[in-house]
């Protein structure tokens, strides 16, 4: 006899179910999948969730009115670290536990971050676009050795970005409310205040949680060194996109790469069409290894929560 239904919504798992989902079936739960590889809409969620005791969730918005349609729901387990897509106040009021797979996708996001730094530093997208259109245009790039990267937020992802960048011979300045001592003996790494970081780096990478207002607003962008580059694999709301577009057009910022958006797919914006901007489809944690780690942790968290 089934112990209840579990809703599976992460796009990576509906497209290619991970072996760890079998643990839920062995525990006696029935798995319910949304459309393969697609972000479920509210109509689809509303049709499934009233019958479920658990939810293995992705990045889809989980709002109050959806949770109010789920009288049997006991726990939501994210297959990632971010839970700002969930109405946490509503979940608490309705006695629904919310769990996250902290750090499971950190390596995937960190490696994508550094890949995007290389891409902007060597103008790879610009060169690729030119050659594809029959042009032979080149921009002089910069080598990363001895350059300084600033990490705004230095948790599990930021620390791995720092490790890779230090291995490349870069210097790292970091700003974080809770400093780690992991690189305390490395002279090429140090924590600084935000103002110092903005003024003393060639590259900025964002790895902090969402804030009430953009971290990189017009004022912060103007403080950066002329020609700096910015990477955002954290949250779209951390950057004022209109202000950033102006800085790209003026040359104050030479390049921007983002893997995150206000909604997926994103609404059209001139920023995303700029020749010095790289856009990726939220692929930071979309690696075989990250997906496996995140799914396993999310499943284990869910089983434990439902047993309590």
Catalytic residue list: 235, 264, 282
Give 133's contacts (C-beta < 8 A, 6+ positions apart). Answer: none
In terms of Cβ atoms closer than 10 Å to its own Cβ (0-12, 13-18, 19+), residue 110 is: buried
Please provide residue 191's backbone torsions phi and psi, each rounded to the nearest 5 degrees.
Answer: -90, 140
Q: Tell me the β-bridge partners of 241.
A: none
Strands of the 189-191 sheet, one edge to the other? 189-191, 171-175, 148-152, 203-206, 228-232, 253-258, 277-279
- The first and second tokens of residue 208, run together, are 């902090």
- The first and second tokens of residue 42, run together, are 């509210």
Decide: helix, strand or coil at residue 252.
coil
Cα–Cα distance list, 219 to 201, 234, 249, 253 (Å): 16, 20, 16, 13
């Amino acid at each position: 006899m089934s112990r209840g239904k579990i809703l599976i919504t992460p796009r990576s798992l509906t497209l290619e179910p991970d072996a760890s989902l079998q643990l839920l079936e062995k525990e006696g739960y029935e798995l319910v999948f949304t459309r393969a590889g697609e972000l479920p809409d509210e109509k689809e969620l509303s049709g499934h969730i009233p019958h479920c005791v658990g939810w293995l969730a992705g990045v889809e918005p989980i709002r109050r009115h959806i949770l109010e349609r789920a009288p049997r729901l006991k726990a939501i387990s994210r297959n990632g670290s971010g839970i700002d897509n969930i109405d946490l106040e509503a979940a608490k009021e309705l006695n629904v536990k919310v769990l996250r797979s902290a750090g499971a996708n950190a390596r995937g996001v960190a490696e994508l971050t550094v890949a995007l730094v290389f891409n902007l530093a060597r103008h790879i997208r610009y060169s690729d676009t030119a050659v594809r259109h029959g042009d032979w245009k080149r921009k002089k790039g910069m080598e990363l050795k001895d350059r300084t990267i600033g990490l705004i937020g230095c948790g599990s992802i930021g620390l791995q970005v720092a490790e890779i960048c230090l291995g490349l011979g870069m210097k790292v300045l970091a700003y974080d409310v809770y400093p780690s001592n992991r690189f305390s003996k490395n002279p090429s790494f140090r924590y600084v205040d935000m103002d110092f970081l903005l003024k003393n780096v060639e590259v900025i990478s964002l790895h902090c949680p969402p804030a009430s207002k953009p971290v990189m607003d017009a004022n912060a962008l103007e403080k950066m060194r002329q020609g700096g580059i910015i990477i955002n694999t954290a949250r779209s709301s951390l950057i004022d996109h209109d202000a950033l577009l102006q800085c790209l057009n003026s040359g104050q910022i030479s390049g921007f790469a983002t893997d995150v958006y206000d909604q997926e797919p994103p609404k059209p914006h001139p920023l995303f069409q700029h020749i010095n901007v790289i856009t990726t489809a939220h692929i930071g944690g979309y690696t075989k290894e990250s997906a496996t780690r995140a799914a396993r942790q999310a499943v284990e968290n869910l089983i434990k929560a439902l047993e309590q």
